Copies of this chain bind each other. A is one copy, B any other.
């Protein structure tokens, strides 16, 4: 970096002091309009862009917020990132994005980079987070907002996703359709959000007076393969479920695959409900009935949580909630008493073993 075009040159050109240039550019109203105009002319003429690092150093404010996610390639995150950045930019903040890649080691490096860049707040939208990291942040007074991570403290906010709401709606829906044996494709139980979804499911079926049968809950990774494997186990039961709810949409899609492979049809033989409402769910055939969790709302609220603590000093953390709602599409249908297995096999196009399911 050759020597910067700096504020002093601009000041010289405008015939004022550097302080005045700074004030004019920051829109302080204690600058005579005429003077300000001269400054801006000089700025334009020289194509001057203030050095953000010097600015941060001088002012003590980085005007940057950190956003930690697991993996930008996970379809859950792009929307969240986009909305977080959009709202941040609106308020004059930059977003510093980092990925943990689901790796605790990298989480550590993410936090380090945030600290080095003196972010004014951090949104941690991933599940993996150890106490130690949190301590590093909050001991420095950096506001933090979590996704579904328990307690609100001094400068620690939390966004609580109301899983039980959407899951309740889904169970009501299935119940109304006549389903009584409902399976659950659980995410990995070492994942907080997966555990929460599962308990919401269990609570829900209890509410409907359905007895809890452990074998109807099968665990798998939050991916298509995970859903396939878990569904295979469900279908192998003596009395397989007539409907199932998945911990996320990818698992639900995997379920549809497995069901199709067994010569069964969705929703005629088995109903499937997903969770998250990723775009992909609208493209499957049949389109996936799912529980929507708005990622853009998540991003906005994460920003708002940080912003609130930032602007009004002395502000404690707060709890925000994001609702979830059932979106009914084509993957759920009425329960049929008829024997299911093979009932519709004859409808499958010849030579195609699996049912088309997107």
Residues of A within 8 A of B (CB): 1-2, 4, 47, 49-54, 56-57, 60-62, 71-73, 78-79, 81-82, 85, 94, 97, 99, 112-113, 115-118, 120, 136, 139, 141, 224, 253, 280, 283-286, 344, 347, 349-350, 354-358
Contact = CB atoms under 8 A, between A and B. Distances in A.
Task: Please report whether the interface of chain A is mostly helix, strand, loop or mixed according to DSSP.
Answer: loop
Nearest to A268: B349
A52 B57 CA distance: 10
B356 A61 contact: no
A51 to B, nearest CB: 6
Contacts of A141: 2
A280 B109 CA distance: 32
Contacts of A355: 356
A47 to B, nearest CB: 6
A57 B51 contact: yes
A92 to B, nearest CB: 12
B113 A94 contact: yes
A139 B46 CA distance: 12
Number of copies of this kind of chain in the complex? 2
B82 A117 contact: no
Given A51-B118, A116-B49, A1 B60 contact: yes
B73 A78 contact: yes
Nearest to A283: B358
Nearest to A71: B82
Contact of A62 (B53, B82, B280): B53
Nearest to A115: B49
Contacts of A60: 1
A47 B61 CA distance: 21
Contacts of A350: 347
A53 B94 contact: no
A144 to B, nearest CB: 15
Contacts of A139: 47
Given A57-B57, A72-B72, A73-B79, 18 more contacts: A1-B118, A4-B118, A51-B57, A51-B118, A52-B116, A52-B117, A54-B57, A72-B81, A72-B82, A280-B283, A283-B283, A283-B358, A285-B285, A285-B358, A347-B349, A347-B350, A355-B356, A356-B357
